Structure 1
């Protein structure tokens, strides 16, 4: 026979067990049609021009969500949910609230089924994530100072290939300005890209894949390649495998200068990737002053002008950016110089008619 104290312990243990079971049950969605069946039911064909590829493998969807860290009791925004397989995984892993942003209204019926089963935890917004402003998407009390640990907010998405790189560049700009979703603090992201793109994002100096995207991503975020999904897991099957990347914004970027300035310098440095980096740096300046400005910039930065761009470390690229910033401060007109625009103008001048009627050409 149990003593009163032992009996009390047993009752407490049973109560705890019931509470845990109730908690697990609360995370389960009611039985419903599978995502693959919904795709068939609503005849949801992937649109090639939108680079749509459906991930219908539940285990892989769950792995994407779990690689985001712990989404239980968090607020999540999923971009490009499509028919909702990752959406389902986010809800099943216990997100407190989920908002999806979907451009294609064909997916509304499938997403509505998930919304009705989510017990108020899912909102559906139709919009283009490239222009969508998330500054009021989450409760204001979730916001954290930039220097604090990241807020309990996550961005997750299986991105169409045609917008993935432009979107991450746009979001890096938003991170640098602490705007859009990043008004709430250092919001974390877990996103899919073509495997080669992820390899470029994480490539260190001297790596064959080191490029402009490597520097831009690593300047504002810690980037990790979580795992690779074979192309055969998607419907329709793409010609490439897919990489899952996780981003955590830095408290302070390696190069604490305005985004546009850093992007311009890095773009020029990597414009001649296999040549000496001085060749790319020269495109920052009008031809008439290149012979003076290029050596000056490398001297001030204390960087070897005969290195290849992919060999440069983050500190070396930082010093080049700061040197360019100092030159622009002394010579403000240089800031507006764009070698690409000048090249286009030169081509247009060559294409003018024999009479030199430039005004007529501009009106074409």
Structure 2
């Protein structure tokens, strides 16, 4: 392609690692992907990046970073927690003519929305903005981060102030299988519901563990997320998350066991009301519930919380909290 952006000759990723004497840290769940073709394949999964704004999470030695730059985005921001990688990223920035903005920080605490150009903003109901979040994430970060970002999507906060921003991220293969699992799939879990009700989730491809240095014990999957214009559950995130979390505490048991933990033990009738109003069989197993089923349960739970102030704050594993309910005997309106 005549207009393809090309970087000048640079040290290979392996040479960068050797130059700066970088070793993968087990405590940070670091595994380096040195295969340039696989890095390019990850970036292709993100879609068209030309003239867009891209944020790469955890660039490490810069393999995916190079592949992103070849797609000629308008600007590339990288967020890296490990200071050992900063010199190599600065070298790459110099070679790119200053296209990279390097931020040293922890993505779980980083205000990404503050660095996105206002010019890229799109209304939620319009087509997706030319803004992309991409990352080959350490396993220790990937699941907490996606849960945090899903809440941002639900509330249209963080990067999602700017529209339906797409994500292309890596996860352990088992985590990917949970995200895309359908009803009755044994892999169906909390992540299945939380990702699917908010996003169109697509498994792109899986990378064998042997492609990474050091080799992890699992394979790694690339997953692409596009936020839905309308979520499949029209209930505030906090109610959906709590109901789903409690139900999947007991994945292999009947859902009545998980739902029961949403309510004080001296109010068993609330569990009965939940199932009756949601029209759900309490003997159903969690992985047999559809998103529509979960939506009805979350909607009823929200209604019960609205009718009974303080109910949402009840948590069965907090002994102090449970004792407070027993001591006060707070009246619950039915």
Give the structure-1-normalised TM-score.
0.87
The one of 165, 180, 189 aligned to 1:187: 165
Shift of residue 185, structure 1, vs aligned partner? 0.5
Shift of residue 280, structure 1, vs aligned partner? 0.8
Shift of residue 88, structure 1, vs aligned partner? 0.3
Find the residue that maps to 1:340 and give its secondary structure: coil
Q: Output the CA distance in 2 between the equivalents of 1:249 and 1:46.
A: 33
Aligned to 1:257: 235
Aligned to 2:326: none
Q: Output the CA distance in 1 between the equivalents of 2:276 and 2:73.
A: 53
Q: In the alignment, is residue 73 of structure 1 matched against residue 73 of structure 2?
A: no
Q: Output the CA distance in 2 between the equivalents of 1:343 and 1:251.
A: 41
Larger Rg: 1
The one of 285, 310, 315 aligned to 1:333: 310
Aligned-residue Cα RMSD (Å) equals: 1.3
Q: In the alignment, is residue 270 of structure 1 matched against residue 238 of structure 2?
A: no
Shift of residue 120, structure 1, vs aligned partner? 2.2
Shift of residue 91, structure 1, vs aligned partner? 0.1
Q: In the alignment, is residue 314 of structure 1 matched against residue 325 of structure 2?
A: no
Aligned to 1:294: 271
Shift of residue 49, structure 1, vs aligned partner? 0.1
Q: 1:344 to 1:39 in 2, by over 3 A?
A: farther
The one of 320, 323, 329 aligned to 2:300: 323
Q: 1:57 to 1:167 in 2, by over 3 A?
A: same
Q: 1:345 to 1:279 in 2, by over 3 A?
A: closer
Shift of residue 343, structure 1, vs aligned partner? 8.7
Asked if the contact 2:76/2:100 (under 8 Å) is kept, the reply is: yes
Shift of residue 304, structure 1, vs aligned partner? 1.2
Q: Output the CA distance in 2 between the equivalents of 1:149 and 1:341.
A: 44
Shift of residue 136, structure 1, vs aligned partner? 2.2
Aligned to 1:45: 23
Q: Which has the higher helix share?
A: 1
Shift of residue 186, structure 1, vs aligned partner? 0.5
Q: Output the CA distance in 2 between the equivalents of 1:130 and 1:123.
A: 18
Residue pairs, 1:51-70, within 5 angstroms: 51-70=29-48
Shift of residue 150, structure 1, vs aligned partner? 0.8
Q: Where does structure 1 lack aligned partners over 5 or more consecutive residues? A: 1-19, 347-364
Q: In the alignment, is residue 223 of structure 1 matched against residue 201 of structure 2?
A: yes
Residue pairs, 1:197-236, within 5 angstroms: 197-236=175-214
Runs of 4+ that moved beyond 6 A: 343-346
Aligned to 1:129: 107
Q: Output the CA distance in 2 between the equivalents of 1:198 and 1:70.
A: 23
Q: Output the CA distance in 2 between the equivalents of 1:272 and 1:32.
A: 52
Asked if the contact 2:128/2:163 (under 8 Å) is kept, the reply is: yes
Larger CA deviation: 90-99 vs 52-61: 90-99
Find the residue that maps to 1:45 and give its secondary structure: coil
Aligned to 2:146: 168
Number of residue equivalences? 323
Find the residue that maps to 1:335 and give its secondary structure: coil
Asked if the contact 2:314/2:321 (under 8 Å) is kept, the reply is: no
Q: Where does structure 2 lack aligned partners over 5 or more consecutive residues? A: 324-334
Shift of residue 339, structure 1, vs aligned partner? 1.2
Q: Output the CA distance in 2 between the equivalents of 1:276 and 1:136.
A: 44
Shift of residue 333, structure 1, vs aligned partner? 2.3
Q: Output the CA distance in 2 between the equivalents of 1:169 and 1:342.
A: 26
Shift of residue 344, structure 1, vs aligned partner? 9.1
Find the residue that maps to 2:182 and give its secondary structure: coil
Larger CA deviation: 75-84 vs 34-43: 34-43
Per-residue CA deviations over 1:128-160 (Å, capped at 9, x if unaligned) read 000111122121011011111110000000000
Shift of residue 345, structure 1, vs aligned partner? 7.1
Q: Output the CA distance in 2 between the equivalents of 1:333 and 1:108.
A: 48
